[in-house]
Homo-oligomer: A and B are copies of this chain.
Amino acid sequence: MKIPSKYIENAVDQISSLPGIGKRTALRLVLQLMTRSKEEIEDFSNAFTLMKANVKKCNTCGNISDIELCTICSNTTRDNSLICVVEDVRDILAIEATESYKGVYHVLGGIISPMDGIGPNDLNIPSLIQRAQQEPTKEIIFALSATMEGDTTNFFLYRKLQGLDISISTLSRGVSVGAELQYADEITLSRSLINRQPFEV
């Protein structure tokens, strides 16, 4: 497919650099953008530069935030002694949507995966240990994907937290094994939060 404009081609390349979007879909999207006004295109473009310039990671939990401390960590009605460890920001959104969790979070920013070359040092694990040691923490919930990598990460975290006087739990296996957390339906996810179980090695 030879596109007769290097500007269109560049825009197609940029859109198709996004995960899961091929050249043909990208061209369809770009030609739809071409039908918009100059102002609309500026709004579209600015959304990404503004986002990059302004969005921070919460100092405490690693959630996306417009301020230093995210809306969850700065919410005084939430239980700071209960920390839910997740892989990704999208997992926070999924859990928040269940409305059955009132604790706080800790975003690892990934999962231990030797196959992808991701080790413990690539994740926000030291800051979790520090939180557990320095703040009055009663319980830590491991809410990682029910995959082999998730289990490996759970085990690694368990070993690191073992000496501290903190209950450690995992989501109940209502979430089907092999599936990724963020795609679970809200009822299953809600039940697995309520039925969380002590971590067993």
A41-B48, A72-B4 known; A31-B66 Cβ under 8 A: no
Chain B residues, CB < 8 A from A34: 51-52, 55, 64
A45-B48, A52-B38 known; A90-B28 Cβ under 8 A: yes
Chain B residues, CB < 8 A from A70: 4
Chain A interface mostly: helix
Number of copies: 2
Contact A32 B48 (CB under 8 A): no
Q: Which residue of B lies closest to A45 (CB)?
A: B45
Distance in Å from the Cβ of A31 to the closest Cβ of chain B? 6
Distance in Å from the Cβ of A42 to the closest Cβ of chain B? 6
Question: Which of B50, B52, B72, B89 sits near A31, CB closer than 8 Å?
Answer: B89
Contact B49 A41 (CB under 8 A): yes
26 contacts between A and B (CB under 8 A): A2-B93, A2-B96, A2-B97, A3-B93, A4-B64, A5-B55, A7-B50, A7-B54, A7-B66, A8-B55, A8-B64, A10-B47, A14-B44, A18-B29, A19-B29, A19-B32, A27-B90, A31-B88, A34-B55, A36-B52, A38-B53, A41-B49, A41-B51, A42-B49, A45-B45, A45-B49
Contact surface of A with B, Cβ cutoff 8 Å: 1-8, 10-11, 13-14, 17-21, 25, 27-34, 36, 38, 41-55, 63-66, 70-72, 88-90, 92-93, 96-97
